[in-house]
Chains A and B, each alone.
Chain A
Amino acid sequence: DIQMTQSPSSVSASVGDRVTITCRTSQVIASWLAWYQQKPGKAPKLLIFRASTLQTGVPSRFSGSGSGTDFSLTISSLQPEDFATYYCQQANTFPWTFGLGTKVEIK
């Protein structure tokens, strides 16, 4: 199975801060990497697919980059509604796997 190492597991930040979350995969997955946002009690929401493509309707302060085994999600200027947990996920090889999540908390 492809292991997804997501870091940090949590980050404390203020409104306006730049936040970067990284995801490293145990095998090369080309660009089959997606990022999701999940708020408490809600379903996940797709933010980024194919490593760097913004899903329709997602604010441009979110961006994704990387390929191969190293990927990142950046929020350029954190907004109050961005406090949530973020997951990376690969769909290159079965079983599809998720990272353990990064909780973005208010500082």
Chain B
Amino acid sequence: EVQVVESGGDLVKPGGSLRLSCAVSGFTFSDAWLAWVRQAPGKGLEWVGRIRSKSDDGTVEYSAPVKGRFTISRDDSKNTLYLQMNSLKTDDTAVYYCSTYDSGGSGAFDFWGQGTMVTVSS
């Protein structure tokens, strides 16, 4: 059974930094493409970024609102995905979800974590 568990959400001041983690189990992590999706309170879903597997060149893509401030990385030895968030803004307040992306089959986000809340406020 695939399990996705995010952690690291917290209350942080504008301009601050935070790192989220996502532990994935139940399949071959190193082969997985992974993504972050966020949801502001009462709003819809917003794609944040995606990282390919290292065997598929490990390329990372970001959405415009976070490009240059957020960094997605992975540690295949720990089966963990990271989201380093710098220069945080109040607009970054959201539940952050980690998901697997099935590049070779569905072309969709097939397994999701429960989310971790990030609040940016003074």
Answer whether residue B44 sits at the interface, using C-beta atoms and an 8 A cutoff. Answer: yes
| B33–chain A nearest beta-carbon distance, Å | 11
* Contact for B109 among A44, A99, A101, CB less than 8 A: A44
Do residues B64 and A95 form an inter-chain contact, with CB atoms below 8 A?
Answer: yes
Do residues A91 and B112 form an inter-chain contact, with CB atoms below 8 A?
Answer: no
Tell me, in angstroms, the Cα distance from A99 to B63 when the chains sit together.
Answer: 15
Knowing A32-B107, A49-B107 are in contact, say whether A44-B47 is a contact too (CB < 8 A): no
* Contact for A98 among B44, B61, B113, B115, CB less than 8 A: B44
- At the interface, is chain A mostly helix, strand, loop or mixed? loop
Annotate A29-73 by CB proximity to B: 1 below 8 A, 0 otherwise.
Answer: 000101010100011111001100101000000000000000000
CB neighbours of A55 from chain B (8 A): 106, 110
Could you list 15 examples of A-B contacts with CB < 8 Å? A34-B106, A38-B45, A44-B45, A44-B97, A44-B112, A50-B108, A55-B106, A91-B107, A95-B47, A95-B63, A97-B47, A98-B45, A99-B44, A101-B44, A101-B45
The 9 closest A-B CB pairs, nearest first, are A49-B106, A34-B108, A43-B112, A49-B108, A96-B47, A98-B45, A95-B63, A101-B44, A91-B107
